[in-house]
Amino acid sequence: MPLVKQGRITTDPFVHAVDGAELPDDGAILVPAARFLEDPEAVLKRAGKVGVIWPNNRDLDDLVPYLDRLAAVALVFPSFRDGRAYSQARLLRERHGYDGEMRATGQVLRDQFVFMSRAGFDAFEVKKDADADAFAATVKRYSVFYQPTGDGRVTAFNRRMQLRHSESAGQ
């Protein structure tokens, strides 16, 4: 499954841990939420980066105490019609200040890519190579947005105000 991260198709450094299988001692892993919550301290003690696959029907409050020690949070889109992971992403970025990798997984469709990106996702597990190419190209297509959102980009209005301020300061 191709991974698009920061506008590039890349090799996924994370191994998906399977329920019931022993966790590797080192290396980057993505652990299902239920398995992570069984003993989060044990999972976080291992050598290597840890990420969690968080379903969109699970309360984020269970995850928040561990955010500062997680390298990635993979939020699940079980269906293209189910947008709860958008809200989770914005909450993690804006309310809880999460600055690690925010990954979209599941039904990640190319026509929703810009919305996912604007919600704060910076990595995308896509099903097809053609979709990965389209995702990578779309990142470069839009440079200005009107609405403030979770990806931290400056809005068109704020850019204008910064420009006016710098022009008036230079006179």
Q: Which amino acid is located at 43 in the chain? A: V
| 32-63 tens-digit pLDDT | 999 999 999 999 999 999 999 999 999 999 99
pLDDT class of 20 with cuts at 50, 70, 90: confident
Average pLDDT, the chain: 86
The pTM of this model reads 0.81
- Confidence (pLDDT) at 31: 96
**Percent of the chain topping pLDDT 70:** 87
- Confidence (pLDDT) at 143: 66
Q: Is the pLDDT of residue 148 over 70?
A: no
List b or e across 70-109, with b for residues whose CB sees 16 or more CB atoms inside 10 angstroms. Answer: bbbbbbbbeeeeeeebbebbbbbbeeeebebbbbbbbebb
Q: Is the pLDDT of residue 134 over 80?
A: no
φ, ψ of residue 56 in degrees (nearest 5): -80, -5
Q: Is the pLDDT of residue 68 over 90?
A: yes
DSSP 91: I
Average pLDDT over residues 77-81: 88
Q: Is the pLDDT of residue 7 over 70?
A: yes
Please state, in angstroms and rounded to a whole number, the distance separating the CA atoms of residues 82 and 61.
20
Domains located in the chain, CATH noted: 3-142 (3.20.20.70)
Q: Is the pLDDT of residue 137 over 80?
A: no
Average pLDDT over residues 85-99: 94
Please state, in angstroms and rounded to a whole number, the distance separating the CA atoms of residues 16 and 93.
23
φ, ψ of residue 74 in degrees (nearest 5): -100, 115
